[in-house]
């Protein structure tokens, strides 16, 4: 009992293969009598419809987009920022009838995956510029869109200006009268593995830190403590800031991601440091959890969902031969409950420049 093909269905139905193809793909090109007869015979033979691989070869397209993810899969899914991006991406692609092929860039697997991926285009989601998979992708000569990182000549990129966005957060805190700051960012874990993982997003984080401190400097403020968490998780962030919280040297904390900011809230709650009365906290990303935290998190919104949708739209435009329109991504400070005016300061000085 052979696997039925379009040919065999055609023979059994006494029509040409093309008619069977039409019956399945173009109801309007075919009388409904013939169509029903063909479909009935197909059902009897257990024919499920045209083979997707053969169709792809002939049509010259696969209706599938590959996504390269920088981090290991579990971390990808754990990161709400990445999840929001993927959500936007998947939604837009699905609406356009495109499937999503997941290509985890793990150290273990041969990156031959990229060579063999049955896709029409690639999306690079926060990849390291020196990732060997990037070279493989470029070799395929397919449309490519990069999200955040890497920046490559000739490759369209979706993303916000992290430095400028972070500067807005700084200005918000300056406007509230804060003059002494702490920053929680991602640092490389000395214990191997985690380090590699973090290095992948480091570039974007460094930009945010740079933009934030630059804005402070413009205002004549240089009192900034930088703390490093070893992974983008609430607990890692809470650990990173725990000791500092025993004797805080600032009235405001900027965390380079919401996840880290939520960790700061956790740590503050655990040590009974009142937020925002004693300490203002600002995050970055505006993930869903940010609005639901206690207190609700003031954060820099960069609409990750929208970025995913835009990345998808850009890919679709390229595939359709349209000129992708570079809609700008807006970013803005969403003021919620975790920031307020700086508390009266017992110490002297520092108010004037």
Residue ranges that bind a second copy, judged by CB under 8 A: 3, 46, 48-49, 51-57, 62-64, 73-74, 77-78, 80, 83-84, 86-87, 90-91, 94-95, 97, 99-104, 106, 108-110, 112-113, 115-119, 139-141, 235, 288, 292
d(CA 124, CA 157): 9
SS3 state at 191: coil
Is the CB of 161 or the CB of 239 nearer to a second copy?
239
3 state DSSP class of 104:
strand
Inter-residue contact 179 to 49 (CB < 8 Å): no
Residue 51 Cβ vs DNA, minimum distance, rounded to whole Å = 3
Tell whether the torsion through CA atoms of 242, 243, 244 and 248 is positive or negative. Answer: positive
- Based on CB atoms, which residue is closest to DNA, 51 or 95? 51
Q: What is the DSSP annotation of 115-157? A: HH---SEEEEES--TT-HHHHHHHHTT--EEEESS---TT-EE
Per CB under 7 A, 112 contacts DNA: no
Interacting stretch for DNA, rule CB under 7 A, among 1-9, 137-145, 169-177, 214-222?
1-9
73 binds, among a second copy, DNA, none (CB under 5 to 8 A by kind): a second copy
Rounded least distance, CB 308 to DNA, Å: 29
Should residue 5 be labelled a site residue for DNA when binding is judged by CB under 7 A? Answer: yes
Tell the smallest beta-carbon distance from residue 198 to DNA (Å). Answer: 38
154 binds, among a second copy, DNA, none (CB under 5 to 8 A by kind): none
DSSP code of 240? H
φ, ψ of residue 74 to 5 degrees: the values are -65, -35
From the list 48-56, 206-214, 268-276, 331-339, the region that binds DNA by CB under 7 A is 48-56
Among 3, 40, 43, 217, binds DNA (CB under 7 A): 3
Binding map of DNA across residues 16-35, x = CB under 7 A, - = no contact: xxxx-xx-xx--xxxx-xxx
Q: What angle do CA 106, 108, 114 make, to 5 degrees?
A: 55
Omega before 273 cis (within 30°)? no
d(CA 167, CA 308): 23
- The smaller minimum CB distance to DNA, of residues 53 and 274, is found at 53
How many angstroms separate the CA atoms of 170 and 279, rounded? 15
Q: Which residue among 1, 46, 60, 141 contacts DNA (CB under 7 A)?
A: 60
Tell me if 278 contacts DNA by CB under 7 A.
Answer: no
């Amino acid at each position: 009992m052979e696997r039925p093909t379009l040919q065999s269905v055609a023979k059994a139905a006494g029509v040409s293969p093309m008619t069977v193809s039409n019956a399945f793909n173009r109801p309007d090109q075919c009388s409904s009598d013939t169509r029903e007869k063909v479909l009935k015979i197909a059902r009897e033979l257990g024919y499920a419809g045209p083979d997707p691989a053969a169709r792809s070869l002939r049509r010259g397209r696969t209706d599938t987009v590959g996504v390269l993810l920088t981090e290991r899969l579990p971390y990808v899914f754990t990161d709400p920022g990445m999840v929001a991006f993927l959500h936007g991406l998947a939604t837009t692609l699905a609406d356009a009838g495109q499937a999503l092929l997941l290509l985890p860039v793990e150290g273990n697997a041969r990156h031959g995956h990229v060579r063999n991926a049955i896709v029409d285009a690639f999306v690079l989601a926060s990849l390291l510029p020196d990732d060997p998979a990037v070279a493989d992708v470029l070799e395929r000569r397919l449309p490519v869109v990069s999200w955040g990182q890497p920046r490559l000549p000739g490759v369209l990129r979706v993303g916000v200006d992290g430095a400028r966005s972070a500067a807005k957060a700084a200005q918000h805190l300056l406007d509230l009268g804060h003059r002494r700051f702490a920053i929680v960012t991602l640092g490389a874990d000395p214990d191997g593995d985690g380090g590699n993982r973090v290095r992948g997003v480091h570039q974007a984080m460094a930009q945010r830190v740079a933009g934030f401190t630059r804005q402070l400097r413009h205002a004549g403020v240089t009192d900034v403590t930088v703390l490093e968490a070893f992974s983008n998780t609430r607990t890692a962030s809470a650990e990173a800031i725990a000791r500092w919280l025993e004797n805080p040297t600032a009235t405001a904390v900027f965390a380079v991601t919401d996840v880290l900011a939520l960790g700061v809230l956790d740590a503050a709650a655990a040590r009974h440091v009142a937020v925002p009365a004693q300490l203002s906290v600002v995050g970055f990303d505006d993930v869903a959890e940010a609005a639901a935290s206690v207190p609700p998190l003031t954060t820099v919104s960069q609409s990750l969902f929208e970025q995913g949708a835009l990345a998808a739209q850009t890919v679709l435009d390229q595939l359709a031969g349209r000129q992708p329109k570079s809609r700008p991504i807006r970013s803005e400070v969403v003021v919620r409950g975790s920031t307020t005016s700086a508390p009266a300061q017992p110490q002297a000085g520092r108010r004037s420049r």
